[in-house]
Amino acid sequence: MIQDNTRVAAVRERYKAAGQDHVFTFWDELSERERESFLLQLESFDPVALNITYAQATAFSKNTVIFADLSPLDPSEVQSTLTATSEEKDEWYTLGMKAIANNQAAVILLAGGQGTRLGSMLPKGCYPDIGLPSHKTLFQIQAERIFKLQELARMDRAKRSGQSLDSVPPVVVPWCIMTSGSTRHQAEVFLREQDYFGLSADNIIIFEQGVIPCFDKEGKFLLDQKNTIATSPNGNGGLYWALRREGVLDELAKRGVRYAHCYSVDNILIKIGDPIGIGHALETGADVTAKAMPKTRATEPLGMICRLGGKIKVVEYSEMDPGLAALIDDRTGESVYRTGYICNQICSLDLLQKISGILQNKGQDTLPYHPALKRIPHVDLRTGLFVHPEKPNGVKLELFIFDVFPLAERFACLEVERSREFSPMKNATGLDSPSTCRRDLERLHIRWIGEAGGHVEGKAIEQIGPRLSYAGEGLEWVKGKTIRAGALESRDDALFIKH
Ligand code: UTP
């Protein structure tokens, strides 16, 4: 316990040797209990190793030499759902649906981010103010899409096997939700209180990623309280380590899962467990299939999928050479580095196991940490007061999910249509905000109705509940009809005003 002075001295010595002993500034003011919890946290970190991580991460971001070896993907490496023939798409869909129906697909939600740009106190999945007519949150939309996908796959299996639907066992697409200290509790309580939006709790696996200390600009740990080092989630690349440590990979392997669709929580148009993407992975034998789309402008905040020394490399927008990002191909008039990464990928379970095994043996730091300059609230060492800086004052380090791509033996890139699959909620207002998400969902659903031969009256918001349609299918009944805007959860909600 705390009375053990040798233990305290040993910890102090380690932090002193690393030049981080300022963390003990308030030690004398702490109660025994506060000291004990602080010691536990201090012992969980290796300050010398963290200094090295900080130094490498900040040096890495300044290093522009690698850009000399960078090249865009060759167009032949990119397939697109926009240019694929309907036969190709049908084949991918059939393959994917078959795998889903055989319970070989899972979905992994990346929901550990702090959503600082959105500025909500709640995890993004529970964000209440998207303003949809149904008042749904992102978690609800996603849960309902999984529900519908399971139903579609079961129907598909019944059809293929010639069995009645009743004799086909339920299909399960496990929903693995990666949270962090910042989001876990609220996400867990929210989902439980909503009874998992109709999904079975047995098939929802909530797990937690790791954290890493926050640094000031000189590489010193910041304090969140007088007895706590400020920490932040260690980036969405913390996934691979967490999947193994939290037993998720074992669980998925036990269930016979072969492919996992990993996606970002904030994309309102996400096609969760997309059969076309999974079928594409099966057909190409890819262990990673990254969905992508052309960037709309050089400065669009999307990573760029490129090649570096022959290997696949995603360069985060904040780390890209601005000159290269702005290069235009004279022949096409498009950006040379056009292939935007949208944090939406299908990974084979074999690859996830391989990567997490490598990280377990060699340490999570095998992947590079990326620095981000942020405003980090902290305790001022001179005054002991908690301060909320107005300008960026420190550095958060993050692992990126795409930094394992060079380990893939076979990488595939599938371009998809933005208006059908991508609209992220990053900011509180303006671009990529709740209002653009609402607009894009509305436009897509109006389009689905148009494609099914129907018409929407007026400009008011339209929303088709995921249980009614996963991706525009099953809307034949709107043909020749005009629908008054609103939230359609079932056919009964539709008010036909003209026939
Ligand atoms: P972003 O990089 O957009 O981060 O994450 P964010 O936390 O949502 O927003 P900002 O940058 O703080 O404003 C892309 C995806 O990766 C997840 C996010 O939840 C989001 O789904 N993520 C990010 C994690 O799961 N863990 C992390 O540590 C960071």
Residue 326 and residue 438 share a domain: no
Over its C-alpha atoms, the chain yields an Rg (Å, rounded) of: 24
Answer whether residue 39 is part of any domain: no
The residue from 396, 425, 454 where one domain ends is 425
The residue from 405, 425, 445 where one domain ends is 425
Say if residues 293 and 445 touch (Cβ distance below 8 Å): no
If you search the block for the tokens 């959105």, which residue do you land on?
118
Calpha distance 90→468 (Å, rounded): 21
Instruction: List 106's β-bridge partners, or say none.
Output: 260
If you search the block for the tokens 């031969």, which residue do you land on?
453
At residue 495, the pLDDT reads 63
Residue 84's SS3 state is coil
The residue from 425, 456, 477 where one domain ends is 425
**Beta strands in 25-169, from DSSP E residues, in sequence order:** 70-72, 78-80, 105-110
Calpha distance 288→349 (Å, rounded): 10
Residue 201 and residue 165 share a domain: yes
Residue 333 and residue 479 share a domain: no
Query: Does the CB atom of residue 176 touch ligand 1 within 6 A?
Result: no
**Ligand 1 center to residue 427 CA distance, Å?**
12
Task: Using most ligand atoms within 8 A of CB, pick from 114, 183, 302, 396 the residue to mutate for ligand 1.
Answer: 114
For the chain, what's the residue count?
Answer: 499
Calpha distance 107→267 (Å, rounded): 14
Answer whether residue 12 is part of any domain: no
Query: Does the CB atom of residue 114 touch ligand 1 within 6 A?
Result: yes
Ligand 1: atom nearest CA of 109 is 21
Domain of 317 in residue numbering reads as 45-425
pTM of the model: 0.95
Answer whether residue 273 is part of any domain: yes
Query: Does the CB atom of residue 41 touch ligand 1 within 6 A?
Result: no
At residue 63, the pLDDT reads 59
Ligand 1: atom nearest CA of 113 is 7
Calpha distance 8→6 (Å, rounded): 5
At residue 62, the pLDDT reads 60
Nearest CA to ligand 1 atom 9: 115
User: What H or E segment, with its residue span, contains residue 211?
Assistant: strand 211-213
Query: Does the CB atom of residue 239 touch ligand 1 within 6 A?
Result: no
The amino acid occupying position 154 is R
Say if residues 340 and 293 touch (Cβ distance below 8 Å): yes
Residue 220 and residue 102 share a domain: yes
Query: Does the CB atom of residue 432 touch ligand 1 within 6 A?
Result: no
Say if residues 207 and 248 touch (Cβ distance below 8 Å): yes
Task: Using most ligand atoms within 8 A of CB, pick from 108, 180, 236, 375 the residue to mutate for ligand 1.
Answer: 236
The amino acid occupying position 117 is R
Answer whether residue 386 is part of any domain: yes
The amino acid occupying position 34 is E
Calpha distance 333→17 (Å, rounded): 56
At residue 496, the pLDDT reads 58
At residue 362, the pLDDT reads 83
Structural tokens at position 6: 């040798």
Task: Using most ligand atoms within 8 A of CB, pick from 261, 265, 429 the residue to mutate for ligand 1.
Answer: 265
Residue 463 and residue 358 share a domain: no
Residue 297's SS3 state is coil
Calpha distance 16→23 (Å, rounded): 9
Query: Does the CB atom of residue 231 touch ligand 1 within 6 A?
Result: no
Nearest CA to ligand 1 atom 3: 426
Calpha distance 184→462 (Å, rounded): 32
Domain count of the fold of the chain: 2
Calpha distance 133→462 (Å, rounded): 8
**Ligand 1 center to residue 112 CA distance, Å?**
6
**Residue 201 burial (CB count, 10 A):** 10
Residue 490 and residue 370 share a domain: no
| Helix residue ranges per DSSP H, 374-468 | 418-421, 434-451
User: What H or E segment, with its residue span, contains residue 75?
Assistant: none
Query: Does the CB atom of residue 466 touch ligand 1 within 6 A?
Result: no
Residue 237 and residue 216 share a domain: yes
User: What H or E segment, with its residue span, contains residue 378?
Assistant: strand 378-379
Answer whether residue 57 is part of any domain: yes
CATH number, domain of 141, equals 3.90.550.10
pLDDT tens series, the chain, 499 aa: 545 789 999 999 999 999 999 999 999 999 999 999 999 999 999 999 999 999 999 987 665 557 888 999 999 999 999 999 999 999 999 999 999 999 999 999 999 999 989 989 999 999 988 999 899 999 999 999 999 999 999 999 999 999 999 999 999 999 999 999 989 999 999 999 999 999 999 999 999 999 999 999 999 999 999 999 999 999 999 999 999 999 999 999 999 999 999 999 999 999 999 999 999 999 999 999 999 999 988 889 999 999 998 899 999 998 898 899 999 999 988 899 999 999 999 999 999 999 999 998 887 678 999 999 999 999 999 999 999 999 999 999 999 999 999 999 999 999 999 999 999 999 999 999 999 999 999 999 999 999 999 988 876 677 899 999 999 999 999 999 888 878 888 888 876 555 4
Query: Does the CB atom of residue 120 touch ligand 1 within 6 A?
Result: no
Residue in 174, 196, 177 with CA at minimum distance from that of residue 105: 174
Give a three-class secondary structure readout of 306-375. EEECCEEEEECHHHCCHHHHHCECCCCCCECCCEEEEEEEEEEHHHHHHHHHHHHHHCHHHCCEEEEEEC
Query: Does the CB atom of residue 343 touch ligand 1 within 6 A?
Result: yes
**Ligand 1 center to residue 271 CA distance, Å?**
18
Residue in 266, 238, 10 with CA at minimum distance from that of residue 138: 266
Residue 112 and residue 138 share a domain: yes
Structural tokens at position 67: 């850009």
Task: Using most ligand atoms within 8 A of CB, pick from 107, 108, 109, 110 the residue to mutate for ligand 1.
Answer: 110
Ligand 1: atom nearest CA of 399 is 28
Ligand 1: atom nearest CA of 111 is 19
Residue 457 and residue 332 share a domain: no
Calpha distance 216→228 (Å, rounded): 15
**Ligand 1 center to residue 99 CA distance, Å?**
29
Residue 357 and residue 469 share a domain: no
Residue 177 and residue 55 share a domain: yes
What are the b/e assignments for 114-142, b being 16+ CB within 10 Å?
bbeebebebbbbbbeebebebebbbbbbb
Residue 320 and residue 445 share a domain: no
Answer whether residue 264 is part of any domain: yes
**Ligand 1 center to residue 208 CA distance, Å?**
14
Task: Using most ligand atoms within 8 A of CB, pick from 116, 241, 248, 264 the residue to mutate for ligand 1.
Answer: 264
Query: Does the CB atom of residue 178 touch ligand 1 within 6 A?
Result: yes
Query: Does the CB atom of residue 288 touch ligand 1 within 6 A?
Result: no
Answer whether residue 253 is part of any domain: yes
Answer whether residue 291 is part of any domain: yes
